[in-house]
Structure 1
Amino acid sequence: MKIPAAQPITAAQSRASRFQLGLTQAEVIDQSGLAGYKLKQFETGRFIPDMPFLQKLADFYASKGIELDDIKETSNDLPVQNTATAKPGGNKVALVQRPCFYISDTISPDLLDRCLERMHANDQRIAEILNKEIRNGMFGGYHEETVQEHQELFGAMAEGYLIFRLLQGNPIVPPIEGGSDPKSHADLLSQFYAQSPISQSDTQQVTGHVDEVEA
Structure 2
Amino acid sequence: MEKKLIGNWYSSSKNRIYSELQFYKDTLVIYDSSGKTTLKWNLDEGKIYTSHLNQSGPIYDYDLKSINLKLVRNDTIELPKFTKAKNAYDFFQKILNMQIDLPIKDSELIEIGFLEHLNFNIYAGYNNKELVVKTDLTPDLNNLESEVTEFKEKSRDELKRLLRFNLIADKNISEFQMDSIKNRLKTTSIEQIFRTYKNKQTDYKNNLNWFGQKE
TM-score range for the pair, normalised by the shorter chain length = under 0.3
TM-score by length of 2: 0.27
TM-score (structure 1 length as normaliser) = 0.27
RCO higher in structure (CA 8 A, sep ≥6)? 1
Q: Indicate the structure (1 or 2) with the bigger Cα radius of gyration.
A: 1
> More strand by proportion, 1 or 2?
2
